[in-house]
Amino acid sequence: MARLPVPSDSDAFPEDTREAVRHIIATRGGSVPPPSGYLTYAGKAGGLLSDLVEHLRYHTSLTPAETELAICTSARASGNDYIWNAHCRLGLEVGTRDEALKVVDTHAPVDGLTPDEALIITFGRELLESPSVTDETYNAVRERWGERGMFELAASMAVYLMNAAMLRTADVHPAPEARHLAR
């Protein structure tokens, strides 16, 4: 059970929180996902996070499968089962291969994956788990996706680290039957 409820548009919450909740509902199809929803405790920041997540998931130069693989790589780096479960499912729906997800989950070598899958995972591991991105990886990502795509990948991964922090703060976990990260 979460430490706090996800805010709603009710008198139980301050007006700036309620405004942010209304914004998320209006722009996200009527739902208030927990990471952005929890940030509405900080007022407008929750709506801004929701807008950023929506943009990075649906309006970049990356394919949906590439985006979801990047998000899953971030979920692995942050150790967040809630994001992992949700985005493995969403990724599989848009063409992310289960083989790539298993490599991310178990931190296995990227041999045998497609070149794009291997590059996304390698970039994510270096970006999120080591002190720097190597010149080799940087150059390969830049050549493959250009500056725009490279920074869209980095931002997609980074915003899900923020989402993981929101979920960790509220102590949100997926259902026991959900897909969990390998330990």
- Mean pLDDT of the chain, nearest integer: 96
Return d(Cα 113, Cα 110) in angstroms, integer.
Answer: 6
**pLDDT score, position 160:** 98
pLDDT for 119 equals: 98
Nearest to 163 by CA among 56, 62, 66: 56
Torsion from C-alpha of 93, 178, 118, 154, nearest 10 degrees: 90
Query: What digits encode the pLDDT tens for the residues 102-123?
Result: 999 999 999 999 999 999 999 9
Q: What pLDDT is attached to residue 172?
A: 95
Residue 129 confidence (pLDDT) above 90: yes
Instruction: Give the pLDDT confidence of 8-52 residue by residue, as tens digits.
Output: 999 999 999 999 999 999 998 888 989 999 999 999 999 999 999
The values of phi and psi at residue 96, to 5°, are: -70, 130
> How open is the CA angle 44-27-67, to the nearest 5 degrees?
95
How is residue 100 written in tokens? 């790539």
Q: Tokens 């010149």 label which residue?
A: 135
Provide the pLDDT for residue 1: 78
Count of alpha carbons within 13 Å of 51, Cβ hemisphere only?
Answer: 11
**3-class state of residue 31 by DSSP:** coil
Q: Give per-residue pLDDT as tens, 83-99.
A: 999 999 999 999 999 99
| pTM: predicted TM-score of the whole model, two decimal places | 0.95
